[in-house]
Amino acid sequence: MSSTLAIVISLLLLMYLAYRGITVLLLAPLMAALAVFLSGDLHFFLPIYTETFMKALSGYVLQFLPIFLLGALFGQLMADSGAANTIARWIVQRLGYQHAVITVVLACGLLTYGGVSLFVVAFAIYPIAKNLFKAADIPKRLIPATIALGSFTFTMTAMPGTPAIQNAIPIPYYGTNVFAAPGLGLIASAIMLFGGWWWLQSRVRKAQAHNEGYGHHASDTAGTTTETLADTATPVRGPLSVMPLGLAVLPLVLVIGVNALFTYVVFPNTNFAALEQQFPQVDATKMAGLWALIIALVTACLTLVLTRLGRWENLKETINQGVFGFMLPLFNTASEVGYGAVIASLAGFAVIRDAVLNLSPENPLISEAIAMNVLAGITGSSSGGLSIALQTLGANYLAMAEQVGISPELLHRVAVMAAGGVDTLPHCGAIITLLAICKLNHRQSYANIAAVTMGVPLIALITVITLGTLFGSF
């Protein structure tokens, strides 16, 4: 009982201190140490750190470093080449300020589904969204929720084939790929997109009925550090601000297309016998999904570099900036995985594990959804919560699913969508960053962010669990 209480205290402090802005890189080992200390396992203190925390952290880095690195590099190349800006402005020109909300949502959605980092997208789209909302006289306080709907929801967790890291994390645990349960993913995406759009449009109509308008915001003209950062992060860099639309869209098509080609054609028809003989510890069927995503991102990055060869403002700086940008997100998440491994090694975790697994033993999808939501909410990170949950409970859920005839693909899609449920609580780093970019605060914008990133996605999650239980994965 004391060990279980130690875990609860550690988790609550992790959530509170993360909300206060302390880095997870420091918090994760400290809170893991606190849990060990409070549980009374002091004689195992150093071995738990070196053999449990560090092994879990390094194992995660070893497995997912290429995805984080290539994703960050691709996002930077898309930004600095002018491709992201070209796509965003093309959508704006087609839909116009009369449809400001859906214009911003679609621009964010297309870029994030194509593999551009959600942070790069937020920086790039904010100046465009600000001008659109001002022209349409829509309250600025709705901009963060609009960007969040396009960047943090359906393209992150539900769209089949999305290269978001959240969609890649379950692959080695369940032996799936990023296209898992495509039909259910599309249904969930539609619910998130249209449900979120309906909500935001209802807020627009309410604001118009009260003659609220865009509002006066001194920060729009004050030239603050955040504004300057947002403007310079927008992919408008001299001669690269415009590029042909076809070339701009090509890398996004390649990320999805090459991934699908290797997932459904090349790897299923490849004999991995020689590879598994040379590397007996490698399960090719489980790793093929990650390999396909790596090949797709490499292909897209090379295509961007080669198609703009001779036109880069500073290609070396772009590559360096993109590569450096992957380190903090990777090690933040890896530290949370190390923390989860330590918690799972404590005696008190067995009580928590059994309670979670027994929530709905006949339908592990419900238990999985609750576990992913809770851990994502506590850590304020969909990738962090998902990684901790799969590290500690993934094998259990896979075994339970096999017993009741639930496919790993359905487990995959439910896990990813659940991790994108309550991950956007107020202490979520992505939400804090988004509000800083828009120069707004929680009081002004958080309620609408919560509606489109938690309320509507939870409806989509319940729908997928219901359909998956009735009809299986499709």
Q: Which pLDDT does position 435 carry in this prediction?
A: 87
**2-6, 17-21, 441-445: lowest mean pLDDT where?**
17-21
Q: Phi and psi for 279 in degrees, rounded to 5?
A: -125, 80
Segment 27-40 shows an average pLDDT of 88
Checking if the pLDDT of 413 tops 70, the result is: yes
Q: Provide the 10 A C-beta neighbour count for residue 38.
A: 18
- Mean residue pLDDT of the chain comes to 86
Q: Which pLDDT does position 92 carry in this prediction?
A: 80
Segment 328-332 shows an average pLDDT of 80
Q: Which pLDDT does position 157 carry in this prediction?
A: 96
Of residues 34 and 23, more confidence is placed in 34
Checking if the pLDDT of 223 tops 60, the result is: no
Q: Which pLDDT does position 369 carry in this prediction?
A: 94
Checking if the pLDDT of 440 tops 90, the result is: no
Q: Which pLDDT does position 228 carry in this prediction?
A: 34
Checking if the pLDDT of 218 tops 80, the result is: no
Q: Which pLDDT does position 225 carry in this prediction?
A: 35
Question: Per-residue confidence at 219, pLDDT binned at 50, 70, 90?
Answer: low
Of residues 156 and 217, more confidence is placed in 156
Question: Per-residue confidence at 221, pLDDT binned at 50, 70, 90?
Answer: low
The token pair at 359 is 């929530």
389-411 residue pLDDT tens: 898 889 999 999 999 999 999 99
Instruction: 221-224: list long-range contacts, CB under 8 Å, 24+ apart.
Output: 224/439
Q: Which pLDDT does position 266 carry in this prediction?
A: 93
Of residues 288 and 471, more confidence is placed in 471
114-126 residue pLDDT tens: 887 777 788 778 8
Among the listed residues 201, 189, 191, 208, the one whose alpha carbon sits nearest the alpha carbon of residue 99:
201
Under the phi-then-psi rule, with left for phi > 0, alpha for psi from -120 to 50, and beta for the rest, what region is 161? Answer: left
DSSP symbols for 200-232: HHHHHHHHHHTT--S---THHHH--HHHHHHHH
Checking if the pLDDT of 214 tops 60, the result is: yes
Q: Which pLDDT does position 19 carry in this prediction?
A: 66
Gyration radius (Cα) of the chain, Å: 22
Of residues 274 and 119, more confidence is placed in 274
Q: Answer yes or no: are the C-beta atoms of 291 and 178 closer than 8 Å.
A: no
70-124 residue pLDDT tens: 888 888 888 888 888 888 788 888 887 789 999 999 999 998 998 877 777 887 7
Rounded-to-integer distance, Cα 331 and Cα 339, Å: 12
Segment 139-162 shows an average pLDDT of 95
Rounded-to-integer distance, Cα 108 and Cα 105, Å: 5
Q: Which pLDDT does position 108 carry in this prediction?
A: 93
Segment 17-42 shows an average pLDDT of 82
Question: Per-residue confidence at 229, pLDDT binned at 50, 70, 90?
Answer: very low
Handedness of CA 381, 425, 411, 10 (dihedral sign): positive
Question: Per-residue confidence at 237, pLDDT binned at 50, 70, 90?
Answer: very low
Q: Which pLDDT does position 235 carry in this prediction?
A: 37
346-394 residue pLDDT tens: 888 788 778 878 888 789 999 999 999 988 887 778 888 898 889 888 9
Segment 428-435 shows an average pLDDT of 80
Of residues 239 and 426, more confidence is placed in 426
Q: Which pLDDT does position 105 carry in this prediction?
A: 95
Q: Which pLDDT does position 242 carry in this prediction?
A: 64
Of residues 199 and 47, more confidence is placed in 199
- Please enumerate in sequence order all residues whose Cβ is within 8 A of that of 412, keeping only pairs 6 or more positions apart, or say none: 170, 171, 174, 176, 180, 181
Checking if the pLDDT of 227 tops 70, the result is: no
Question: Per-residue confidence at 467, pLDDT binned at 50, 70, 90?
Answer: very high
Q: Which pLDDT does position 238 carry in this prediction?
A: 38
pLDDT above 70 coverage of the chain, percent = 94
Of residues 276 and 174, more confidence is placed in 174
Segment 416-429 shows an average pLDDT of 86
Q: Answer yes or no: are the C-beta atoms of 463 and 183 closer than 8 Å.
A: no
Segment 271-276 shows an average pLDDT of 85
Segment 309-313 shows an average pLDDT of 86
pTM score, two decimals?
0.80
Of residues 41 and 403, more confidence is placed in 403
Q: Which pLDDT does position 231 carry in this prediction?
A: 37
